[in-house]
Amino acid sequence: MILVLNNAVEGGYMADEIAQFLPDTRVYNYPNEDGDPSLEDVDGVVIGGSEVGVYDEPDQPWITAQKRFARRLVKEGVPTLGICFGHQILNAALGGEVVDSGTSRLRLHDAELNADEPLFDGVEPTVPVLHSDVVTEIGDGMEIIGRADYYEYFATRHRDQPVWSVQYHPEFTPRIVDEYDGWEEADRSFEDSTATRTLANFADLVEANASES
């Protein structure tokens, strides 16, 4: 089973969209539940997006707790995928830095994704982004597997553990575009994007890890 951490403080933020692209999931609303979720019968974890930033930790004490939980996932070798805020908190939990870039991006954008990385198998470079926060220093043990023209640390993975993170939202599709104010139409089309394959690939990696265990 794959555990999806919904990091929405006040509802929404696409955790249910993530779940629909994965087999056998459980969604856990981390900010509004009491403590860490159980990892019993959990084969993998997806850390989802949020409307708050990692640097909002003083006002959002659950972020401190989730950083500890993220470090536990890495230490125990639980296959983990961080998406947007999840990408940022994984790197921050391992000693990296996250800041508000001052520029909101809600659009399809091209990225340079490592072609040798199984997480990106069949994933075209056009991906949906919805963020202003960026990782400016990656965490200990993390390495770059994807870049964008405005963002050196667009995607990362842990060099020793089955842990990946991406700034883009692979779960974001035309079905929910109208729910997000400010989405920019660009010269790219969702027909050019296969970002949802990221989630299918992660599920395959989780299954392979479980088979090896």
Residues marked as catalytic: 84, 169, 171
User: Which one, of 133, 154, 134, lies nearest residue 144 by Cα?
Assistant: 154
Distance CA 175, CA 156 (A): 27
Distance CA 78, CA 72 (A): 8
Distance CA 192, CA 189 (A): 5
| Residue 125 neighbours by CB distance under 10 Å | 18
| Residue 121 neighbours by CB distance under 10 Å | 15
DSSP code at position 119 = G
Residue reference for tokens 């000693």 = 95
Which pair of structure tokens corresponds to residue 93?
């939990």
User: Which one, of 119, 86, 130, lies nearest residue 204 by Cα?
Assistant: 119
| Residue 106 neighbours by CB distance under 10 Å | 18
